Every structure is written in structure tokens, then in C-alpha cells.
């Protein structure tokens, strides 16, 4: 998929939002990518997952034994990546503020894992999910995402394969431009802002 085709998928799903958004990273933005809307259509979600797998080198794809995603945002794309790669898909969640496997999920010691996200902005959630996977015995050999909002600056500590990199500006609370600050902030994500 080309960048224009990917953005067209977001627009067709009404998933590229404009306004004033408080991201789960705690940063502010005039743009928000609602991947849940993008991925709510199973055919579109399958196309997106297939396009992400095609960004990964064949040798990486062939080593992956399971896909694990952080809840909530990564669950759908993680499941579709599992389908595209022919491996199980699980998720980590943080009912007490720290990611961990629950619901009977387990990882064989040394299993090679793809950690899959919907959107990466700072990489904090991804790094926390990777830590939880490693503490559960897995070896994270790669990470993927539908969107890398960091424009390539997020360091996840493993090879990272996003479908698209976007550089919508984000701002710390004390850096929000006055025109954006004049619009009430909306928090559309699945986690309390930092």
C-alpha cells in the first residue's frame, strides 16, 4: 500500500480526526488517528495487516511464533497480524497499571514474539508491553504498528515495522499553541493520559 492508499483507508473509515486531542502519552495534537474505526471492518483490517507483514523482511516473518499486543488499541490489529502470519495472537493488559498476561495466556520460554501496536507516539506503551512479554518468558524480535506518529524517533529497542510514519505535531501541555488551546481537548484513547 502506498501512503496515499493508507490515508485513503483512514479517510474512508472516518478515522482521521481533526480538533484538539489529549493523547495517551499526555501530549496534545490537532490530529487523531482512530484506528478502532479503521479496523472495525474485517476486510479492511485484513488488508492493513497484510500490508504490514509485507513491510517485514521474510526472515523476521518466518521466525515469529506469536503476536502479542497491548490492550485495548492493539487487540484488533494484533489478531489480524496473527491471522496474516498464521500464528496465535494474544494481548497484555494493565488492570492495575502494569502490563501483564492474563486470561490464561502464556508464552513458551524463549518464544519469538512480534509486539503489535495500533499507533506509536512516544513508544512508552510499546516499551512497557515489550517488558511484560520478556518478563513472561518471550523474546520480542520485532515490533509493528499501523501508524508511527513519532516519524521514526521512537526507540522500541527492537526492529520496528510501521505501515506508515506520520509527523503530526504534538505538544507538551505548556507548549500548546493558542489557537489549539482555544479548543476544548478531547481524550479519545483507551488509557488515562500521563
94 is in an annotated binding site: yes
157 is in an annotated binding site: no
**Cβ atoms of residues 67 and 78 within 8 Å:** yes
* Cell numbers that stand for 20 in this block: 484538539
63 is in an annotated binding site: no
* Cell numbers that stand for 47 in this block: 488488508
For residue 174, what is the DSSP state? G
118 is in an annotated binding site: yes
120 is in an annotated binding site: yes
149 is in an annotated binding site: yes
**Cβ atoms of residues 88 and 165 within 8 Å:** no
127 is in an annotated binding site: no
67 is in an annotated binding site: no
For 72-105, b where at least 16 C-beta lie within 10 A, e where not — what string?
Answer: ebbbbbbbbbbbbbebebbbbbbeeeebebeeeb
125 is in an annotated binding site: yes
Q: Which residues are annotated as a binding site?
A: 94, 117-125, 149
Q: Which residues are annotated as a binding site for 5-phospho-alpha-D-ribose 1-diphosphate?
A: 94, 117-125
Q: Which residues are annotated as a binding site for orotate?
A: 121, 149
Amino acid at each position: 500500500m502506498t501512503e496515499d492508499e493508507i490515508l485513503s483507508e483512514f479517510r474512508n473509515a472516518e478515522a482521521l480526526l481533526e480538533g484538539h486531542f489529549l493523547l495517551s502519552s499526555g501530549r496534545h495534537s490537532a490530529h487523531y488517528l482512530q484506528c478502532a474505526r479503521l479496523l472495525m471492518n474485517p476486510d479492511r483490517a485484513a488488508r492493513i495487516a497484510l500490508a504490514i507483514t509485507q513491510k517485514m523482511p521474510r526472515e523476521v516473518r518466518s521466525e515469529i511464533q506469536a503476536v502479542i499486543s497491548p490492550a485495548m488499541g492493539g487487540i484488533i490489529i494484533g489478531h489480524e497480524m496473527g491471522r496474516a502470519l498464521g500464528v496465535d495472537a494474544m494481548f497484555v493488559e494493565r488492570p492495575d497499571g502494569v502490563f501483564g498476561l492474563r486470561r490464561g495466556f502464556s508464552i513458551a520460554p524463549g518464544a519469538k514474539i512480534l509486539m503489535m501496536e495500533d499507533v506509536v507516539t512516544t513508544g512508552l506503551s510499546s516499551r512497557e508491553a515489550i517488558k511484560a512479554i520478556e518478563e513472561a518468558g518471550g523474546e520480542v524480535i520485532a515490533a509493528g504498528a499501523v501508524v508511527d506518529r513519532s516519524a521514526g524517533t521512537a526507540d522500541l529497542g527492537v526492529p520496528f515495522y510501521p505501515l506508515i510514519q506520520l509527523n503530526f505535531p504534538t505538544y507538551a501541555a505548556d507548549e500548546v499553541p493558542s489557537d489549539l488551546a482555544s479548543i476544548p481537548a478531547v481524550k479519545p484513547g483507551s488509557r488515562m493520559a500521563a
